[in-house]
Amino acid sequence: MQRYKLRLRRRRYLLRAWRKRRQLCRNTDRTDKITPDTILCFSTVRNERHRLPFFLAHHRQLGVGHFLFVDNGSDDGTADYLSNQDDVSLWTTQHSYRLSRFGADWLAWLQIKYGHGKWCLTLDADEIFIYPYYKTRSLHALVSWLEAEEEVSFGALMLDMYPKGPIGASDVAPGADPFKELSWFDSGNYTIERQSKLHNLWIQGGVRSRCFFHHEPRKAPTLSKTPLVKWDRRFAYVSSTHSLLPRRLNEVYDTGGGEKISGILLHTKFLPSAVQKSAEDLDRKQHFENSHLYETYYKSLLDNPNLWCSESQKFTGWRQLEKSGLMSRGGWI
């Protein structure tokens, strides 16, 4: 019965994507450049002009061959910037982000149309994807190894990065490497449990739990994601990239006492612009299904907090994250 209900749910999501396709206006279409072995990146963005040069450069260097963006009403030049990138195809929409399942319906249609049979990376503009050996081994090397292991999905922990001092006082120029300022993270205070319904991991903790949800840690944001998948047009994300259907795609961990390979999404939310964006998010109420639970969080960001503490760790590289237990190279050596 449970499998039947989940199958219906997945079909419902795919039908929503088909219907929501009418909300997308094609701005720049370079999808004719996509080849069978192109690794794709999908993202919904709004007012991310200052983040995008580093985001694109980093993921190009990893091996992403084409980016498919949906711009949701930017007014900071994001759409113009993206339309001038040779490896970007761009769609625009003014429709509700919240009513599109926070962009998932729009991206699902593009994944159905362009992602079938290809490795697809689905990211927010404030997420920088890394994995073991990422500076010396390309994404093509990673997905080739995953295919040899008969794996079609790859898990990652979203790791909040922050500066030392008030978040609004750091100086990150548009397009610059954000981790010269956002160089600190919480290495402990994480909790993890397996969700029986979708078989996904539920990880909470880190700096947002410590600073904003310490009185109600169960309401802290979910940090576990599955951003890299060899896509099939029958697949569908359930909630952002936190979980998928079919649920076997969520089993990116080892239940036998070992470790599967995993990565990290370095989260650049806490740039100086976070203060301004928090005021906007409070006003728009587009980002969370239960937005009232996050009002205190956004209001706290308006106070320009200092997230650093004596237990904060300075980021030095992926091996440090592996040693901390936040990611794993599994059997990839």
DSSP letter for 47, please.
S
pLDDT score recorded for residue 284 = 62
* CA–CA dist 49, 96 (Å, integer): 20
Please give the structure tokens belonging to residue 65. Answer: 């061959």
Q: What single DSSP character describes residue 111?
A: I
User: How are beta strands 263-267 and 190-194 bridged, if at all?
Assistant: unpaired
Per-residue pLDDT tens digits for 210-251:
999 988 888 899 999 999 999 999 999 998 999 999 999 999
What's at 213, amino acid-wise? Answer: F
Model confidence pTM above 0.75: yes
Share of the chain above pLDDT 90, in %: 82
The average confidence (pLDDT) of the chain is 93
**pLDDT for 253-290, tens place per residue?**
998 888 999 999 999 999 988 777 766 766 666 555 55
According to DSSP, the residues that pair with 21 across neighbouring strands are: none
DSSP 262: -
CA distance 207 to 159: 9
Domain extent listing, the chain:
2-323
User: pLDDT band at 301, cuts 50/70/90?
Assistant: confident
- DSSP assignment, residue 130? E
The sign of the dihedral angle between the CA atoms of 123, 98, 110, 273 is negative
Q: State the pLDDT confidence band at 324, using cuts at 50, 70 and 90.
A: very high
Q: How far apart are CA 101 and CA 106, in angstroms?
A: 9
In this prediction, residue 135 carries a pLDDT of: 97
What pLDDT was estimated at residue 168? 87
Residue 22 above 70 pLDDT?
A: yes
> Residue 155: CB partners within 8 Å, gap ≥ 6?
201, 224, 225, 226, 252, 253, 260, 262, 263
Res 34: pLDDT: 98
Domain 2-323: which CATH number of 3.30.310, 1.20.1630, 3.90.550, 3.30.70: 3.90.550
Nearest to 188, CA basis, from 171, 170, 211, 206: 206
Quick one: CA torsion of 305, 311, 317, 323, rounded to 10 degrees?
-140
pLDDT value, residue 175: 86
> Any idea what DSSP says for residue 203?
E
Token output for 284:
């728009």
**Structure-block tokens of residue 12:** 């419902």
Instruction: Please tell me the predicted confidence (pLDDT) of residue 246.
Output: 97
Residue with tokens 């980002």: 287
pLDDT at 48 over 90: yes
Query: For 144-169, how does the pLDDT look when each residue is reduced to its tens digit (9 = 90+)?
Result: 999 999 999 999 999 999 999 999 88
Q: Is the pLDDT of residue 85 over 60?
A: yes
pLDDT above 70 covers what percent of the chain? 95
66 vs 165: CA distance, rounded Å: 37
